[in-house]
Amino acid sequence: MPFNSQAYLFNSATLNTVKEIGGVYGLFVQSAGRYHALYVGLSDNLRRRLNEHYNNPPVRGTTHFFAEVITNAAQRTAREQALIREFNPPGNVHHTR
């Protein structure tokens, strides 16, 4: 699994069950039984941020998302940076070096 969590469908019904807590998340597309990272981000409110992406996607084609609850802001930032380095998602091109 790409994250320390399971895959969830990227739809409004599922997003409204997400906790309103800080964490990191990844937007993925499932193809041929594999998940491909499109975008990785962080938020102090996962539900709000994922719904923002649902209504105004940073990338097209998202079918699933993964999320990890991380309440500490510094730890969220470090985990987000590690995930961006690991997956190099096209939606995060401005973060690559």
Query: What is the band of 4 on the pLDDT scale with cuts at 50, 70, 90?
Result: confident
Q: Domain count of the chain?
A: 1
In a domain, 2, yes or no: no
Query: In terms of residue numbers, what domain contains 17?
Result: 8-92
Query: What is the band of 97 on the pLDDT scale with cuts at 50, 70, 90?
Result: very low
Q: Kindly state the tokens that stand for 34.
A: 């594999």
* pLDDT tens digits, one per residue of 46-55: 999 999 999 9
Q: Report whether pLDDT(72) > 90.
A: yes
In a domain, 1, yes or no: no
In a domain, 66, yes or no: yes
Q: Report whether pLDDT(1) > 80.
A: no
Per-residue CA distances from 4 to 1, 11, 19, 38, 93 (Å): 7, 20, 16, 17, 23
pLDDT at residue number 93: 82
* pLDDT tens digits, one per residue of 5-42: 899 999 999 999 999 999 999 999 999 999 999 999 99
Question: In CATH, what number is assigned to the domain containing residue 57?
Answer: 3.40.1440.10
**Whole-angstrom Cα distance, residue 48 to residue 18?**
9
* Three-state SS sequence of the chain: CCCCCCCEECCHHHHCCCCCCCEEEEEEEEECCEEEEEEEEEECCHHHHHHHHHHCCCCCCCCEEEEEECCCHHHHHHHHHHHHHHHCCHHHHHHCC
